[in-house]
Amino acid sequence: MILLTYLLLSGLTTGSLYALIALGIVVVNKSTGVINFAHGELFMFSGLLAWTLHVQLGVSYLPSLAIAVVLGFALGVATNLIAFRPIKNADVVSLVLATIGLAFVVRGAARVIWGGKGDYLSFPPITSPDPISFGEIMVIPQQIAVLAGAIVIMLVFAAFFRLTRAGKMMQAAADNAKASKLVGIRVDRIYMLSFGTGAAIAAAAAVLMAPLTLLYPDMGFSFFIKGFAAAVLGGLTSLPGAVLGGFCIGVIEALAGGYINSSFMEVSAFIVIMFVLVVRPTGLLGLKGMRRI
């Protein structure tokens, strides 16, 4: 029972981060119909930017998070301008190759700035490392802080999509781009906002995740796969599905590592992707009639 509780808490913590990454993937896909394969590298780059601000420049944690989110938004806008807008009417393969090419460029830039593949950077914890005891259950404060922070960020972005004019225009463009143009919505600007918002969410996830692990230039792809698995499980057209999928992937990963073998933690995301694509291609909460990815 103690092991199960610990695994569930650990799974929910990492799952909340996967949910944020999946949210960014779904935001872009809903608006543009395209998967941004550079999303993981934007996540990685934002985390390293936050490390520079917090560790090297001495900026406190919350301002570092805010600045990293703003810089992440700018990276997302740059992704739209460089890899999407010039070829937005091209075939799927061209769009995929453009974002993959950008991912390699961003990864290379990170290696130049922060070091080669073997360099791992540690982010200082934002809470006490001493565990808190609840009866026989030991809880690490850092996990609680990350989980709470991720939930707050999810609520903030949910409010953005539901209550703000920009959020409503993004949803309208996602539902029907042609109709949105007819009523005066600048769809190109919405696409740019979608890329920026998706990258900003990834940046928030990176800063929350940083105290729990090591940062290095090649980390983006593995986290992208976990986020993509969460998006596929929940449904690539569903924002609530991305959140649900993220928590499910985190819990599945933790339980597989705890009760089967730690090696299953790395392959569980691939297993989930294959299973969902065979059994329910639209995901748990996705809608039929999905567009190109």
Strands 132-134 and 137-139: what pairing? antiparallel
If asked whether residues 197 and 246 sit together in one domain, one would say no
Q: Which of 218, 248, 271 is the last residue of a domain?
A: 218
Whether residue 69 is contained in a domain is answered as yes
Q: pLDDT, tens digit, for every residue of 118-164? A: 568 888 888 777 777 766 666 778 788 888 888 888 888 888 888 88
If asked whether residues 42 and 82 sit together in one domain, one would say yes
Rounded distance between C-alpha atoms, residue 95 and residue 98, angstroms: 5
Q: Two tokens at 67?
A: 């600045």
Q: Which of 175, 197, 218 is the last residue of a domain?
A: 218
Rounded distance between C-alpha atoms, residue 20 and residue 230, angstroms: 10
Whether residue 187 is contained in a domain is answered as yes
Helical axes 239-259 vs 220-234, angle rounded to 10°? 120
Whether residue 5 is contained in a domain is answered as no
Backbone angles phi, psi at 211, to 5 degrees: -70, -15
Q: Which of 218, 233, 257 is the last residue of a domain?
A: 218
If asked whether residues 162 and 279 sit together in one domain, one would say no
Paired with 121 in beta bridges are 215
Residue 216 has pLDDT above 60, yes or no: yes
What's the farthest any 2 CA atoms get from each other in the chain?
61
Whether residue 72 is contained in a domain is answered as yes
If asked whether residues 103 and 46 sit together in one domain, one would say yes
If asked whether residues 62 and 198 sit together in one domain, one would say yes
Rounded distance between C-alpha atoms, residue 293 and residue 291, angstroms: 7
Residue 94 has pLDDT above 70, yes or no: yes
% of the chain exceeding 70 in pLDDT: 93
Whether residue 73 is contained in a domain is answered as yes
Whether residue 287 is contained in a domain is answered as yes
If asked whether residues 155 and 240 sit together in one domain, one would say no
Whether residue 127 is contained in a domain is answered as no
- Quote the number of domains for the chain: 2
CB 14 within 8 A of CB 248: no
Residue matched to tokens 């999509």 = 161
Q: pLDDT, tens digit, for every residue of 159-211? A: 888 888 888 888 777 777 777 777 777 888 888 998 999 999 999 999 988 88
Whether residue 183 is contained in a domain is answered as yes
Q: Using CA atoms in the order 102, 108, 113, 118, what is the torsion angle rounded to 10 degrees?
A: 140
Residue range 276-285: mean pLDDT, rounded: 80
Residue range 80-99: mean pLDDT, rounded: 86
pLDDT at 291: 46
Total residues belonging to the chain: 293
* CA separation, residue 1 to residues 5, 144, 145, 202, 256 (Å): 6, 19, 23, 33, 16
Residue 286 has pLDDT above 80, yes or no: no
62: containing domain: 37-117+142-218
Residue matched to tokens 């850092």 = 142
If asked whether residues 186 and 233 sit together in one domain, one would say no
